[in-house]
Amino acid sequence: MVERIYLTGFMTSGKSTIGPILANVLGWNFYDLDKVIEGKHEKSVVEIFEEFGEEYFRNYETETLEKLSTEKDTIISLGGGTLTSERNLAILKQTGKIVYLRITAETIYHRLKHKIDRPLIRDLVLNERPREEFIERINKILDERKYYYEKADIILDTDNNKIGITVDQLASEMRKLLHAHNQG
Ligand code: S3P
């Protein structure tokens, strides 16, 4: 039985936007991992990184993931880096199906270039660095993460897709998966 679907992908790939819509379409519950972490701390991800450091955030992320991975009929939007450790990957693989929303570095750049709420890119925005530096940073992180992202059960290229199309595609893929499992 598929009881959980995890949405992964780089920052701004649409995980947090698509997650609740897909959950609504399937009649499932929805959690946004970053929002759960922010709620517990009553602080933003940027504040948590600044006050406690990235390692603390990553450990808390794993703990929160462990808890959420027991919820049934649930869509969970992960953070862009959640999938990228062997431990987290094992939790995700054992407890659900992973969907990777893939977008190009160029699209990521356009979506991120004015955003100051992402600790891994924020310095470039605040210092008004040129496009080349954004692309370089984005490609470096993408290269490091490619191995993990490509472990997903479903990969959807969502660059030019409208949200409605992506949700339709995903809902139909999910029904196939749920159907196959119910029959098996
Ligand atoms: C991160 C992505 C962010 C957030 C944190 C770290 C990453 O989530 O978890 O800033 O490592 O890619 P989004 O992918 O929702 O922006």
Q: Is the pLDDT of residue 29 over 70?
A: yes
pLDDT on residue 94: 98
pLDDT on residue 181: 62
Nearest CA, atom 10, ligand 1:
118
pLDDT on residue 173: 87
Q: Rounded to the nearest whole angstrom, what is the distance from the C-alpha of residue 62 to the centroid of ligand 1?
A: 13
In a mutational test of the pocket of ligand 1, which residue from 15, 33, 34, 65 has the highest number of ligand atoms less than 8 Å from its CB? Answer: 34
Please tell me the pTM assigned to this model: 0.95
- 72-105 burial: b if 16+ Cβ within 10 Å, else e: eebbbbbbbbbbbeeebbebbeebbbbbbbbbeb
Closest CA to 22 of 152, 163, 121, 148: 163
Strands annotated E in the chain:
4-8, 29-32, 74-77, 97-102, 154-157
Express each pLDDT in 112-166 by its tens digit: 999 999 999 999 999 999 999 999 999 999 999 999 999 999 999 998 888 888 8
Q: Is the pLDDT of residue 184 over 60?
A: no
Q: Is the pLDDT of residue 169 over 80?
A: yes
pLDDT on residue 174: 85
Q: Rounded to the nearest whole angstrom, what is the distance from the C-alpha of residue 11 to the centroid of ligand 1?
A: 6
Q: Rounded to the nearest whole angstrom, what is the distance from the C-alpha of residue 179 to the centroid of ligand 1?
A: 32
In a mutational test of the pocket of ligand 1, which residue from 8, 10, 11 has the highest number of ligand atoms less than 8 Å from its CB? Answer: 11
Provide the 3-class DSSP secondary structure of residue 148: helix
Express each pLDDT in 40-92 by its tens digit: 999 999 999 999 999 999 999 999 999 999 999 999 999 999 999 999 999 99
Nearest CA, atom 2, ligand 1:
80
pLDDT on residue 183: 65
- Do 156 and 169 meet the contact criterion of CB atoms below 8 Å apart? yes
Ligand 1, pocket residues at CB < 6 Å: 11, 15-16, 34, 45, 79-81, 118-120
Q: Rounded to the nearest whole angstrom, what is the distance from the C-alpha of residue 181 to the centroid of ligand 1?
A: 31
pLDDT on residue 69: 98
In a mutational test of the pocket of ligand 1, which residue from 6, 61, 118 has the highest number of ligand atoms less than 8 Å from its CB? Answer: 118
Kindly indicate the confidence band of residue 182, based on its pLDDT and cuts at 50, 70 and 90.
low
CATH number of 4-160: 3.40.50.300
Domain limits, the chain: 4-160
